[in-house]
Chain A
Amino acid sequence: MLSIVRITLKGIFRDRIFQGIMALSLFFVFIPSVASLSMRQVTELSTTLSLSLISFIMLLLAVFLGATSIWKDIERRYTFSVLSLPVSRSTYLVGRFLGIAIFMLIAALFLGSAAIVSIKIASLTYPPARPLLWFAIITSIVFDALKYIIVVAVSMTLATVSTSFFLPVFGAISIFMAGTVTQQVFDYLHTPSAQAAVSAAIRKAALVLYYLLPNLGGFDLKVHAIYAIPLNTQGLLLTGVYFLAYTGIVMSVGALLFARREMK
């Protein structure tokens, strides 16, 4: 499996899509000057812009790497040569996934460092009203990476059953969008006004979706990072365990589906 992980990482670094997406990180240079337009919260705005840029780049990386990795292998018939080796299909899939997941963490480290530099510059020029909480900023970036690793798992699982890259790309984007709002929908459905307005059947369907779709809202710690609001350690631990369990479930389903897939 280690060799698959290594090959995956090497492949990503050589990929042109990756290079193009990472070129977006040049925008970090402009963040301090754009943030200086704020009236009262220059550092906070520069943190907002940095974290949003990281999130946007990581979403692109997660969707394209997750969706195209398996699909490209099948399309170029690399899978045949790999699977003729004494490697099971699940090992191959998990190896690919781990390679991309490690890459996402490396990307988070690189982008996070750029973000920290641009936030530091903004904070030195216009000191914030409240001291920066670096721990919250770093944790927010790490949890962002975990969130996009879930998106990678989802898009790879979709790729195991799809014959084109449309389903994994658009499916992963849709699940990402839905995953960021499931908690809001869940909270809304428990308000008295929703209890009266929404029928019981729709409420049940929404509840099923709530448990089925990834709850990505828990991984969004931007507000803590931007406004130096202390983090809840227990909540972070729970989110970490949720990440392991959900990724495990999705990848197991992916491995089962991939094992049954016919290769022509």
Chain B
Amino acid sequence: MSAVSRPVVALLVSLTIYGVVLGSFSDYMKLKPIEEKLGYLPSTSFLRYASADHKELVGASLVMKVIMYFGGIAEKQQANVIVQPPDYRGMSGILHGAVKLDPYNMDAYYFAQSFLTWEVKQYKIANDLLDYGMKYRSWDWMLPFFAGFNSSYFMRDYPAAATYYKRAGELSGSDLSKLLAGRYMQEAGQTELAIAYLTTMEKGERNQSVRRNYQLRLSAFKEVRKIEMARDRFKEAKGYLPTTVEQLSQGGFLSTVPLDPYGGQFYLEADGKVATTSKFAFAGAKKAAKQNAGETR
């Protein structure tokens, strides 16, 4: 074999092996459990030293990693493919690490707020993170706006919420925060508060997965609001609270049967509060369906 033909043969053999293995390798990577892809984060102190003068870049790439990971799972959930729920603890850990590297990174605060509250119910952790961000992003109205919403809607801490909203109003110069501060500082206005918040968030969102998430929640809350208004009309007319949602539709108080976009069923609690079997999450709907199947069996 000549000196020229030998490397050509070697190249052809390598290309053939590459071609054969490429398809199986891609399939293997596609099927690899999504949890593995979130990966392991070295300690933040180590990253701070190792990233030299690229702390902002490393911070941004950590946030991107979490957004991509979540986007992959959210898309599957919305397409009704059964997947494990996202590793929220891991996501939170990485985002906390990212803001230690770059305390100004808005994507990290924004994304942490979107899942630490509704999905994970870690309101205190969410507000601590927002407080940390406010120390740096002292010009940003969004962080106190988020913290104000968390305080009033989830934690029912109205004095703290009023302080946050006041700050958000001062920084933004818009009336929205002031409006929220005054109008919804009461138990009765909770659903309206959530609708106002979600509408603001959904409008400004560019990431399709996150936007779809907000849209779903928003449509669920609009349905809740419809039931609440029907419930109030029922009580006014009959003098007592209805016990089921069906009572409202049969009595003509609801024109259509409200649909939970998460796949659950709306019901009324003993005190008249509107709830759903899905708990406003896809995982919740599946769990409830499983329980129901168990009960009937």
Contact = CB atoms under 8 A, between A and B. Distances in A.
Given A37-B67, A40-B106, A40-B110, A130 B139 contact: yes
B57 A52 contact: yes
Contacts of B206: 39, 126
B105 interface: yes
Contacts of B64: 37-38
Contacts of A44: 104, 106
A48 B56 contact: yes
Nearest to A220: B53
Nearest to B105: A41
A216 B48 CA distance: 15
A55 B104 contact: no
Contact of A39 (B52, B53, B139, B207): B207
Contacts of B111: 39
Nearest to A130: B139
A64 interface: no
B49 interface: yes
Contact of A180 (B52, B102, B137, B140): B52
A38 B107 contact: yes
Interface size band for B? 20 to 34
A52 B56 CA distance: 8
A39 B204 CA distance: 9
Contacts of A223: 56, 102, 104
A180 B53 contact: yes
B110 A48 contact: no
A49 interface: yes
Interface size band for A? 20 to 34
A111 interface: no
A41 B107 contact: yes
Interface in B25-62: 48-49, 52-57, 60
Given A184-B48, A184-B49, A226 B110 contact: no
A44 B110 CA distance: 15
B114 to A, nearest CB: 9
B107 A39 contact: yes
B210 interface: yes
Interface string B190-219: 000000000000000111001000000000
A52 B57 CA distance: 7
A177 B206 CA distance: 37
B271 to A, nearest CB: 38
A101 interface: no
A176 interface: yes
A55 B56 CA distance: 12
Interface string B47-85: 011001111110010001001000000000000000000
A181 interface: yes
Residue among B48, B106, B139, B142 with most chain A CB within 10 A: B106
Contacts of B102: 223
A119 B148 CA distance: 33
B54 A226 contact: no
A68 to B, nearest CB: 22
A227 interface: yes
A39 B112 CA distance: 12
A38 B63 CA distance: 9
Interface in A10-44: 37-41, 44
A181 B105 CA distance: 21
Contacts of B56: 48, 51-52, 222-223, 226
A233 to B, nearest CB: 20
A191 to B, nearest CB: 13
A209 B206 CA distance: 48
Interface in A179-222: 180-181, 184, 216, 220, 222
A257 to B, nearest CB: 27
Nearest to B64: A37
A40 B52 contact: no
Nearest to B139: A130
A48 B60 CA distance: 8
Given A39-B207, A41-B106, A129-B140, A222 B53 contact: yes
A45 interface: yes
Contacts of A55: 53-54
Nearest to A41: B106
A176 B52 contact: yes
A39 B205 CA distance: 7
Contacts of A227: 104, 137
A237 B64 CA distance: 36
Nearest to A177: B52
Nearest to B67: A39
15 contacts: A38-B107, A39-B67, A39-B110, A39-B111, A40-B107, A41-B105, A41-B107, A49-B60, A52-B56, A52-B57, A130-B139, A147-B53, A176-B52, A180-B53, A222-B53
Interface of B: 48-49, 52-57, 60, 64, 67, 102, 104-107, 110-111, 137, 139-140, 142, 205-207, 210
